[in-house]
Structure 1
């Protein structure tokens, strides 16, 4: 996105989906967990020199409040982490980035027991807003990252999916 290419740390998502009693599709969001990923070149885009700790930069995906796995719609925010940035520094803070994921091939069953399915998806049309809440480094950081970035950015997504049906869940 923008001027930076990063392979994000693996993301684990928990959600439920399936038919409702009236036949409509239902979904419930559970949680999302991931770790920060270092951004090559840190805050300056160059070697850290004599201040490697202070100039490091990492990005962490956060749930943006919308998920629809039937249609491929998904929203994320991206927290920017550095000792020199405010804790609120986020791309998509007020308006999360909306992705419209498209499958890039068929799903592949890896295992039947437990059920394990692999697939890939992508969005190459999304726009990315500026980072907000970054304190006095907001403008130089946005220049460094190439934000805002008009449509045509790319997010590729390789997923491994498993599931349990409600009759397989432990009794409460």
Structure 2
């Protein structure tokens, strides 16, 4: 039986390490990328920060456990609203064999800066030019991930998006009670960007996920949901261009 071990969801903080997503996204990226082509004239690769690597279970073999860091940028459509350029996101988690031979996973963190929603709360020029009427989405970990039992996808990963505006309470969240479940599929072949350190680039997407209504938004909750056309069972898409790297736990600096 597969065993999955996860920490409590990490609070998403502003800023991302490197270029920029549930997750997604794991060793499956490397496993599915057997002898990928080496990228020609590859763009500058992101610098990686392993400070979010989680503690691994007691009694496991540290050299066989990897801390994996994925950075991604991309685009997002929720309901009727498209955001053509997401702010960078970074996802960190660990995986490796447990003492009984089953597969273990430990969640680390998701970090991502807010992304401005074009048109703001009103969907017009006033929302683009008035701070009071501005609207941004900040990604957060939804509390569930599985990078082993994901079928043909790169991984299962859940997310929330916090709606940020001077006129909205902090608790205004899309996917608060029912996080968005992403199962990212590969788009094209992976490419080795670097062998030392190991960095692989790949593109991924999900265009079949469901987007729930926002809740916790106070009197403007209806406006937020109308703005995005939520809830939406279809028409939601996310596309990501991602870079992936890892270190085994015997290579990480002591804390």
Q: Does 1:3 align with 2:85?
A: no
**1:69 corresponds to which residue?**
147
Instruction: Rate the CA distance shift 1:44–1:16 in 2: closer, same or farther, 3 A.
Output: same
| TM-score (structure 2 length as normaliser) | 0.64
Spell out, residue by residue over 1:74-119, the C-alpha distance to the aligned partner (whole angstroms, 9 max, x if none): 0000000000011100000111011111111222111011111111
- Give the length in aligned residue pairs: 172
**2:206 corresponds to which residue?**
123
SS at match of 1:21: coil
**2:102 corresponds to which residue?**
24
**1:167 corresponds to which residue?**
250
**1:53 corresponds to which residue?**
131
Q: Does 1:36 align with 2:36?
A: no
**2:19 corresponds to which residue?**
none
RMSD over equivalenced CA pairs, Å: 1.7
Question: Per chain length, whose mean CA-contact separation is higher, i.e. which structure has more relative contact order (CA < 8 Å, sep 6+)?
Answer: 2
SS at match of 1:164: strand
**2:15 corresponds to which residue?**
none
Spell out, residue by residue over 1:142-167, the C-alpha distance to the aligned partner (whole angstroms, 9 max, x if none): 11111011134111122101100122
**1:90 corresponds to which residue?**
173
Q: Distance in 2 between matches of 1:52 and 1:91?
A: 23
Instruction: Rate the CA distance shift 1:22–1:107 in 2: closer, same or farther, 3 A.
Output: farther
SS at match of 1:65: strand
Q: Distance in 2 between matches of 1:14 and 1:125?
A: 24
Q: Does 1:154 align with 2:237?
A: yes
Q: Distance in 1 between matches of 2:254 and 2:221?
A: 50
Q: Quote how far apart the aligned CAs of 1:51 are.
A: 7.0
Q: Distance in 2 between matches of 1:50 and 1:123?
A: 28
Q: 1:108-147, aligned counterparts within 5 Å?
A: 108-147=191-230
Q: Distance in 1 between matches of 2:168 and 2:160?
A: 16
SS at match of 2:246: coil
Q: Distance in 2 between matches of 1:50 and 1:41?
A: 5
| TM-score (structure 1 length as normaliser) | 0.93
